[in-house]
Amino acid sequence: MYFGFGVSLPDEKGEQAKWRWFPNGEGKEFQWNESLKPLELHRDRITILGGLSHPHGRTMGAHDTADTFLTGALMNEKSLSNTVSLDQVIAKANGNQTRFSSLVMSTDGGVGEPTRSSTLSYDDKGRPIPALNQPRRIFDRFFGAGDADSLAERRRLKSQSAMLDRVLEDASSLRLRLGNQDREKFDEYLSSVRQIEERVENSQRWLEIPRRELRDEELKMLDLDSDENAPMTFIRTMYDLLYLAFRTDSMRVAT
């Protein structure tokens, strides 16, 4: 999770020291500061780590670091290229064990633009993965498929699979007619097609496995029509959806 405005780090001996993000002491006997005190009940399940800032990030402007928060790439005016994010490395390792490989969320949604990213997640080519920011859309994607939706999803996946087969059939002969530079770009395109093919195959497999049902009290706590105009309700709903996705083992990594 990325805090767009950072965390409170006043001088340890100043008047505002009690609001310092990091607690006092080490091990299990540390003393909470005000910033993290609400988590007191979960002390035994929390580890707070410091000193993890990436050297590349220290040379960038504070508002530019969302792009590289999970990649550690060096981005500057000479190069805006990125690399794979940590969450997607994890997702690739165990994503086939769950219905969805990962959940990518943000307040603004989409991908934003270089140095003003709206996503923390980047694929293995360094391309931004669009973030979801509409609670109802997230709910429908992870929990909302009834019988009618399931049938429509089967038809959609079958159509996608047939289209991808046709694309890959034509790709081999077309590649042979391309020059080296065009061939490199074409290989990038094929890589994207194969990734989509893998996702389609995984989705088809999971259609045969019933989704875990949510409890009535869990459904009642969600305000799926909330948005950033009511920030407290919106943020709570997004975190509730995140919790439910983990509880139902729909995915195992999220940003």
Query: Which residue has better confidence, 146 or 119?
Result: 119
Question: What is the pLDDT, as a whole number, of residue 148?
Answer: 44
- Confidence bin at 255 (pLDDT 50/70/90): very high
Q: CB of 106 within 8 A of CB of 133?
A: yes
* Mean pLDDT to the nearest integer, 199-215: 77
Distance between CA atoms of residues 139 and 245, nearest Å: 9
The amino acid at residue 11 is: D
Question: What is the pLDDT, as a whole number, of residue 14?
Answer: 87
Query: Which residue has better confidence, 81 or 119?
Result: 119
Q: Which range, 105-114, 151-160, 183-192, 206-215, has the best average confidence (pLDDT)?
A: 105-114
> Which among 253, 227, 241 has a CA at the least distance from the CA of 144?
241
Radius of gyration of the chain (CA): 22
Question: What is the pLDDT, as a whole number, of residue 233?
Answer: 95
- Across 19-23, 78-82, 142-146, 153-157, least confident range: 153-157
**Any idea what DSSP says for residue 45?**
G
* Mean pLDDT to the nearest integer, 95-124: 91
- Say whether pLDDT at 135 is over 90: yes
SS3 state of residue 128? strand
- Say whether pLDDT at 238 is over 90: yes
- Confidence bin at 86 (pLDDT 50/70/90): very high
Condensed to tens digits (0 to 9), the pLDDT of residues 7-47 reads 888 888 888 989 998 888 888 888 899 989 999 999 888 88
The amino acid at residue 237 is: T
The CA-atom distances, in angstroms, between 204 and each of 29, 44, 90, 170, 250 are: 49, 40, 22, 24, 15
pTM, whole model, 2 decimals?
A: 0.77
